[in-house]
Amino acid sequence: MIKIKNILIVGLVLIFASCQQQNNEEAIKETIDRLHNEAMAVNEKANKTKFKLDSLLEQKRMKQEADTLEINKAIVQLNLADEKMMDWMHNFQLDFKGSKAEALKYFTDQLDSVKKVQLQLEDAIKQAKPFTN
């Protein structure tokens, strides 16, 4: 009788842990989706900033002004950040196949990645700010 009770307890714990892991995975997916949407808005702002800098750069080249190098650096950073965003979106697998533990790790890693992409976009926009005011 005690063995059956122990088996039932272990089984219930495993079921609970599995449900908890599934809930964690879903919560992480929702957070990834929210951050992705926020990052897309930041990416749009980065692209608009890049277009402004492109226009400004063309004007400064025509006038042969000296700060074109810094503007070029800002444009490069905006382009790199945009590429990172596109790479992340291209490689992200919402329907990741693997064990529950593998899926939880994958989605946790993706959450970190999308956060880094968003920070890179925000940093690139900050770098360009002196030229877009």
Q: For the segment 27-70, what is each residue's pLDDT rounded down to a tens digit?
A: 888 888 888 899 999 999 999 999 999 998 888 766 666 678 88
Question: Are residues 84 and 43 in contact, defined by beta-carbon separation less than 8 angstroms?
Answer: no
Specify the pLDDT at position 6. 47
Question: Are residues 78 and 96 in contact, defined by beta-carbon separation less than 8 angstroms?
Answer: no
Question: Across all residues in the chain, what is the average pLDDT?
Answer: 82
Specify the pLDDT at position 13. 46
Does 10 score more than 80 pLDDT? no
Alpha helices in the chain, H assignment, sequence order: 2-63, 68-91, 100-132
The Cα–Cα gap between 4 and 57 comes to 76
